[in-house]
Structure 1
């Protein structure tokens, strides 16, 4: 009884150790340096809102000075002459100043620019958050597909090795040909090369996953495989026009580009403000004692309230040049937004079509797999009856394994297309990855 309990514990522990895509994503949130850097980038960008607002708020300053003065004054005397008076005295001054902009278009433009910069940082972070979901699933499925290719390549090697031994045996008995042996040997070596390539691809994908979760590498046994009974998802909404509108409204890349355009627009306004006057209300409270030689041994307490108007007249043409430069940058941002919009909509359409065609492709490959398996059996029987030759058997085996590979790739491609469709539409969330995660788990018989 005790041994049975231990076996069950080990089996459960192994099952729990396998990570699905959502488990990898949760670890990536804590360890991926790209995502962690994006958090800091967003936090820094959000401060632009406060920085921009500061230019519209009151500014309070305090100035204090105290010094020791050694002065020699030449003063007139009562007889029409003059005399020298050596003075050694302390001077003192303190000033409180309160300033409030009443009209400062540059400060207003900076304020609106700061808001746009903060929104840009927020949308850019949303884009990188969703991109992390895509990266996790991409590396995850690449590693699993590489494992499928490895398994297929090893199965091919085993089958071709058996065929090689059989052909060699028939050749020794005088019933086969040297060509049959060479053909089987050639197919075996090609399968070996495919296995090596798949191993390299898997190693790269596992290292990418490890980098996301803060580990040197991940073992393929740590990943939950795709269920054999995986079925496609219901695509909602079902029409492309709705996805089109979602992308234009919600796509974070386009949203950040729009905010980048706003930043450029208010940069133009900020430079244009160099031609406009500034009006500032101010209040000062000043206390001075022996501030200058004329106020020796005198103390003044002065309170002032007033309005200051500053009117720029000429700055060497710099204001006009800076405005033109900012205008060209704004036009560049407009073209970049248009280009990014076109690129996003093209990708959106591609992924939408891939989701629709993926359903039909999966059904076709599943039927093709059944047919390929039956063809292998039928071909082997025909060879025994003298109706087929060795090359037909090798071709049937090759077709079977190619169909298995294509079916595996079609399943992963469909999952990626479904995920990227939501990404380009701007509504990819962790709940969507959790839905994809349900398609992964222990395989039957493993």
Structure 2
């Protein structure tokens, strides 16, 4: 899908239906350069299995040569002298050779290394596929949360502007102070700075989404907002130990790192094979005519079958040094696997805890939102009764916006924690993103 077509598609569909995270993901599968590059990287890596296996299979070769020879033979004449015989003749040779390794430990180690490299490529691609899901949801929620911050900043500006005008009016009547005016003005400018920062963050997130889709940017109106009635997702399994086992078994980063250790292990074996003999069975069929001066005007048809044994004796210490070097690389890979395992389990625990605490935070913020909404209503009623002033209503409305922002952030954080928990466990699939997608839908901005 070309970028121009995508832009037209977004323009045509934006008025009808906004895109949810799953829609963005489906388009990113076709247009994200990082993911498309990962496909080619995997395909290239899978060829290592075939390359390694080739060293264990028969090798058939054919050699042909034909030449024109100008030669002068110095031959005895039988009387104690010699005479010269000029020979101008054609020569040719034709050889078919078939070789089959019988014992070649280096070839075997190369094959096992190729298998490990192919598995590494496959697991690495699985990791990047799941990472694409995380990237889509990350940029998507960042863009929406930035919009929430823009809304609250504009609400603050409106409140502080009215407060500034009221304080200025009171100051002119001799009832206010210059400090009150400066404080309102300072808060207004701070809210303006917050709005600018939120606009910049939103622009960056929308451009990141655009890069996934192959367009320059995405408009915030093209994205479906978070549903106001969003509830927590089901967490299954419910205990951490099960997630721990899932991560150790299924996490693609750990799986690829284990294959990297296997690659390093068979590289050690490949170098160690430099001390071992090689045994090869071979068969050849050869035709020669006038192949040399000694076979002038002679033709030979030779069929040969046999076994060749090659025994390395001394290579200047290079084999031993290469083996030690490969061993150190293998130990490095093992330490990297251990470090990556610890890092993954720490993140897994963090996201699991965030899911559990996130449910409690959502309940608390939802109650706080209900209280803030009730506060706005009661404040307006108090104003009518003369107990409050308009500034109290503005402060109550500002608190309502702030609570909505905090609730939205808690929801985004919970969705990201739920998604990353599945990612670190290694079982994040498009069906999981479809569940998250249900939390978004058409609604007011």
Q: CA–CA distance in 2 between the matches of 1:3 and 1:280?
A: 56
What is the TM-score with the length of structure 2 in the denominator? 0.93
- Do residues 63 (structure 1) and 66 (structure 2) align? no
User: CA-to-partner distance for each residue in 1:78-134, whole Å, 9 max, x for gaps?
Assistant: 212221111111111000000000000000000000000000000000000000000
What per-residue deviation string (whole Å, max 9, x for no partner) do you get for residues 245-269 of structure 1? 0000000000000000000000000
Cα drift, residue 349 of structure 1: 0.3
Q: Is the 8 A contact 2:14 2:221 kept in 1?
A: no
Where do 5+ consecutive residues of structure 2 fail to align?
none
* CA deviation profile, 1:157-203 (whole Å, cap 9, x unmatched): 11222222223233333343333322222221111111000000000
Decide whether aligned partners of structure 1 residues 419 and 6 sit closer, same or farther in structure 2, where only a CA change above 3 A counts: closer
Between the aligned partners of 1:276 and 1:208, the Cα distance in structure 2 is: 55
1:212-268 Cα shifts (integer Å, max 9, x gaps) = 000000000010101111111010000000000000000000000000000000000
- Are the counterparts in 2 of residues 183 and 391 from structure 1 also a CA contact under 8 Å? no
In structure 2, relative to structure 1, the CA distance for the partners of 1:72 and 1:5 (3 Å cut) is closer
Structure 1 counterpart SS, 2:297:
coil
User: Is the CA contact (8 Å cut-off) linking 2:3 and 2:214 kept in structure 1?
Assistant: no
User: 1:445 is paired with a residue of what secondary structure?
Assistant: coil
SS of 1:16's equivalent in the other structure is: coil
Q: Is the 8 A contact 1:139 1:206 kept in 2?
A: yes
Q: Equivalent residue of 1:64, what SS?
A: strand
Classify 1:11/1:373 alpha carbon distance in 2 versus 1 (closer, same or farther; 3 Å): farther
1:180–1:391 Cα contact (<8 Å) kept: no
Shift of 1:357: 0.3
SS in 2 for 1:17: coil
What is the match of residue 281 of structure 1?
281
Query: Is the 8 Å Cα contact of residues 280 and 309 (structure 2) preserved in structure 1?
Result: yes
Q: Structure 1's 9 and 323: CA in aligned 2 closer, same or farther, altered over 3 A?
A: closer
The alpha-carbon distance between structure 1 residues 270 and 136, as it changes in their structure 2 partners (threshold 3 A), is same
Verify the 8 A CA contact 2:155 2:398 in the aligned structure 1. Answer: no
Listed as ranges, the gaps of 5+ residues in structure 1 are none
8 Å CA contact 2:159–2:395 kept in 1: the answer is no
What are the Cα deviations for residues 40-61 of structure 1, in whole angstroms up to 9, with x where unaligned?
0000000000000000000000
Distance 1:257 1:418, change over 3 A: same
Q: CA deviation at 1:389?
A: 9.1
Residue 9 of structure 1 and its aligned partner are, at CA, apart by: 16
Within the alignment, does 1:31 sit opposite 2:35 as a pair?
A: no
Q: CA deviation at 1:385?
A: 8.5
CA drift of 1:371 comes to 2.7
Assess, with a 3 A threshold, how the Cα gap between structure 1 residues 122 and 382 changes in structure 2: closer, same or farther.
same
Could you say what secondary structure the match of 1:280 adopts? strand
Cα distance change of structure 1 residues 196 and 150 upon mapping to structure 2, 3 Å threshold = same
Is contact 1:180–1:390 with CA below 8 Å preserved after alignment?
no
- CA separation of 1:394 and 1:16: change in aligned 2, threshold 3 A: closer
Moved more, 375-384 or 108-117: 375-384
1:385-409 superposed Cα distances (whole Å, 9 cap, x missing partner): 8988999777656544432222111
Change (3 A) 1:9 1:125: closer
TM-superposed deviation, 1:15: 5.5
Which SS does the other structure have where 2:16 is aligned? helix
Q: Which residue of structure 2 aligns with residue 445 of structure 1?
A: 444
Give the Cα–Cα distance (whole angstroms) in 2 for the partners of residues 5 and 60 of structure 1.
Answer: 51
